[in-house]
Chains A and B, each alone.
Chain A
Amino acid sequence: MTAGAGGARRRAVALGVVLGPLGAGLALAAAWQLGGPDVRVTLTASPALVLVQVGALAGAAVWLVRRSRARASAQVVVALAAGRAEAQERVHAERLRLLSRLDHELKNPLMAMRLGLATLRTDGGEAPLALVEQQAARIGALLSDLRKVADVERRPLDVEDVDLVALLDEVRASVLGRPGAGERTWELVVPRAPWPVPSLRADPDLVFLALHNLADNALKYSRPGDSIELRVAEQSASHVLVEVADTGAGIPADEVAGVWEELARASTSRGVPGTGLGLPLVRTIVRRHGGQVELRSREGHGTVVRVLLPVAGPPPAPPTV
């Protein structure tokens, strides 16, 4: 903000410096033309002197232009450096939060495993064995999700024509097989008029994974009797909008922004299994397709995630090194 205002002020001053003398000259000339005596001034000078003066003026002009350019580029460098520092700070803060969450996510299953092993050593039995197995599976799920996020970030996209309506139908069929899914009302909302939703260029497996994650979240964070809607529509000539909406538990307002961070879990998600990597995965998949994703939620009322995807497919990949 302040950098922008400062820049505008400097540009205005620079314009004044250039246009001020020009304006004053024009005003004096007009006054002389209207009211001044009718005289002509003739100057004589040696061509050598004229050449010296032209040379000096040209030199001064070039020097002025170069100086202002150098100043401008110096300002750009300073602004870029400030931006970079800010971004670095943000990344650093995110990294610290991630590490502390990772510590937390590993601490509990490890603790439980130690307790299970201690019980096994003294009392033996099936229960502590099952506990250790469960906790190992928990760490395994976390690792698998972490790897998936890293993999989806880098893997080449296999782009083809994707029928989103058919894909959403597959997502619904797949989620309906999960425990508790039959106790929610599922609706696939697809407009037919004025024309069907166009197919889009995308990696079908990754888009499936993203939409399945969203549908699975809708299931996990809703209660029996709640409604879940999977909606798809042509947003514009260039984009298709997919929405996954539920009448579930919702997310507290001050936690909505944090849901996209790795391993972040809203306070309302306690007791619901998950690694906190689903939404970051969704965001990565959508971003790699050149799309956008946003989440709106009201605690106690439900959540809607909107995914906007370009019909033309992902932007060209940056050249690989």
Chain B
Amino acid sequence: MQTPAGRARLLLVDDDSAITDALAPLLRREGFDVTVAGDGERALAEIAAREPDVVVLDVVLPGIDGRGVLREVRAAGRAVPVVLLTSVGEAGERARALDEGADDYLNKPFDPGELVSRVRAILRRVHRGTPSLAGSGRLRAGALTVDRVARRSWLDGRELTVTPKAAALLDYLITHPDELLSRERLLEVVWGFEHPVGTRAVDNRVAELRRVLADDAAAPQWIETVSGTGYRFRAVVEAGA
């Protein structure tokens, strides 16, 4: 999985050398063994040859674009985790990123620290031996079942009625269990903008999910509040029906 030195192998795919020239050294300083690919074909060749531990993949690429690369990787049966760098803060873009099996995604321009913490969270999951949930259409966490494609969910077999944003939030939480997710991160994921005034929107949607899940904020079974920071999905999640 990792190089002898224990450094995780990271493939960075972006056609803009201004990004890769600045990001690759930063990621190396953070302890990653970084390889750079400037287009989709080279990315596919690198993934086949070097089997990286994680791929950071820009959507906009000459030739085969990032989505095409992701599709081919998944079609070839490779489970390598992928962080997709999207450039449009649009709900449809994020939904598609999920459909195509990206493990996480960040909107450009992003905070480099956020990318590092997303990549580390993925590597921790891989290290634990937990399979990726990103490509699964259906997830289960105890009595909770989520159909990610249809955006429907059931608790003890009873279908939950939630607003579309709460459903999107639940989708992200359940695919990133046991990770500390900041309000800002959740806001960006679900709403696409990172304005601090909006974080109350995250709190309201979490309250809605807790209501339908009958979760007690003081002794949560599902969604735990991490004081002053954000939330964490506590339940153990598994793929399949």
B163 touches A160 (CB 8 A): yes
Interface residue from B89, B198, B201 paired with A147 (Cβ < 8 Å)? B89
Contact with A along B197-209 (1 / 0, CB 8 A): 1101100100000
B21 to chain A, nearest CB (A): 16
Write the chain A residue with the least CB distance to B193. Answer: A148
Q: List which B169-223 residues lie within 8 A (CB) of chain A.
A: 191-195, 197-198, 200-201, 204
Say yes or no: B195 contacts A155, CB within 8 Å.
Answer: no
| Contact A151/B163 with A140-B109, A143-B109, A205-B198 known, Cβ cut-off 8 Å | no
Whether A179 is near chain B, meaning CB under 8 Å from some CB there, is no
Partner of A205, one of B88, B89, B165, B194: B165
Q: Does B164 contact A (CB under 8 A)?
A: yes
Q: How many A-B contacts are there with CB distance less than 8 Å?
A: 44
Q: Determine whether B90 belongs to the interface, using a CB cutoff of 8 Å to chain A.
A: yes
* CB neighbors of A among B75-92 (8 A): 88-91
Q: Which residues on B sit within 8 Å (CB–CB) of A254? A: none
Does the CB pair A151–B164 fall under 8 Å?
A: no
Give A144 to B198 CA distance when docked, in angstroms: 13
Instruction: Contact check, B91 vs A156: say whether CB atoms are below 8 A apart.
Output: yes
Contact B197 A174 (CB under 8 A): yes
Contacts of A221 in B (CB 8 A): none
Q: Tell which of A143, A144, A160, A208 touches B201, judged by Cβ atoms closer than 8 Å.
A: A208
Whether, in the assembled complex, A172 has its beta carbon less than 8 Å from a beta carbon of chain B, the answer is no
Determine whether the beta carbon of A209 is less than 8 Å from that of B198.
yes
User: Smallest Cβ distance from A23 to chain B, in angstroms?
Assistant: 66
Asked if residues B90 and A144 are in contact (CB atoms below 8 Å), the reply is no
Residue numbers in A under 8 Å from B89 (CB-CB) = 147-148, 151
Chain A residues whose CB sits within 8 angstroms of the CB of B109 once the complex forms: 140, 143
Contact with A along B118-135 (1 / 0, CB 8 A): 000000000000000000
Other-chain contact of B193, A144, A156, A212, A216 (Cβ < 8 Å): A144
**Bound Cα distance A195, B156 (Å):** 42
Residues of B within 8 A of A156 (CB): 91, 164
Contact of B90 among A151, A204, A208, A216 (CB under 8 A): A151
- Residue A158 lies at the interface, judged by CB distance under 8 Å to chain B: yes
CB of B88, distance to nearest CB on chain A (Å): 8
* Distance between Cα atoms of A98 and B34 in the complex (Å): 41
Q: From B91, B165, B197, name the one whose CB has the most chain A CB atoms within 10 angstroms.
A: B197
Q: Which of chain A's residues has its CB closest to B166's CB?
A: A158
Least Cβ–Cβ distance between A151 and chain B, in angstroms: 6
Complex alpha-carbon distance, A154 and B92, angstroms: 11
A144 and B195: CB pair below 8 A?
Answer: yes
Give the docked Cα–Cα distance between A146 and B193 (Å): 11
A144 pairs with B194, CB closer than 8 A: yes
A230 to chain B, nearest CB (A): 15
A155 contacts which chain B residues (CB < 8 A)? 90-91, 192
Instruction: Decide if A299 is an interface residue (CB 8 Å cutoff).
Output: no
Q: How far is the CB of A156 from chain B (nearest CB, A)?
A: 7
- Which B residues lie within 8 Å of A160 (CB)? 163
For residue A183, CB closer than 8 A to chain B, the reply is: no
If A148-B89, A209-B198 are given as contacts, then 19 extra A-B residue pairs at C-beta distance below 8 Å, sorted by A number, are: A140-B109, A144-B193, A147-B193, A148-B193, A151-B89, A151-B192, A154-B90, A155-B90, A156-B91, A156-B164, A158-B163, A174-B200, A205-B165, A205-B198, A208-B197, A208-B198, A208-B200, A209-B197, A212-B197
Residues of A within 8 A of B (CB): 140, 143-144, 147-148, 151, 154-156, 158, 160, 170, 174, 204-205, 208-209, 212, 216
Which are the 9 A-B pairs with shortest beta-carbon distances? A205-B201, A147-B89, A148-B193, A212-B197, A158-B164, A158-B165, A158-B163, A151-B89, A151-B192
